[in-house]
Structure 1
Amino acid sequence: MSDINGLEPLATFCGNCNCGCPQLFVDPSAPAERRVLLTDDFGQRVQMSVEQFASLVEEAKAGKLDGIAIA
């Protein structure tokens, strides 16, 4: 991902290669509705609020995303 200046890294998903793995960041200078940033290895980015991200985490913990991870 380009331009990660000022972003606080939280997690890298995969991390076993140099392919530009998806990453999760917090942007402390972004508006509240765009504070959490998820990037992918294709250069795309998704921005969401902390509340939206918390909802995503809650859904994942409840198993609602488990079907996606089965490959």
Structure 2
Amino acid sequence: MRDRHAPVFLARFCGNCNCGCPELYVDPAAAPERQVIITDDFGQRVEMSVDQFRDLVESAKSGALDDLLDRQLAGA
């Protein structure tokens, strides 16, 4: 079993309440495919590689995620 270090906190995606907002962490000691961690206010977590996270961020920056979300919420 490898030595685990606590993930390093990077950001909180809300901060306007005390409801347990989603948070972003990085765990340099984790396997490469699990180094980026996003937690939610229900105690769940998503682990992904740095490349997967960068792809997600790029999709958000380009507006592609907004378009997908808007279409789904509109029922298209």
SS at match of 1:65: helix
Structure 1 residue ranges without an equivalent (≥5): none
Work out which structure has the larger RCO, using CA pairs closer than 8 Å and 6 or more positions apart in sequence: 1
Q: Identity across aligned pairs (percent)? A: 62
CA-based RMSD of the aligned residues comes to 1.8
1:26 maps to: 26
Structure 2 residue ranges without an equivalent (≥5): none
Name the TM-score, length of structure 2 as normaliser. Answer: 0.78
The structure whose Rg is larger is 2
Query: Which residues of 2 match residues 1-71 of structure 1 at below 5 A?
Result: 6-67=6-67, 68=69
**Which structure shows the higher helix fraction?**
2
Give 1:65 deviation, angstroms. 1.2
How many residues are treated as equivalent by the alignment? Answer: 66
Name the TM-score, length of structure 1 as normaliser. Answer: 0.83
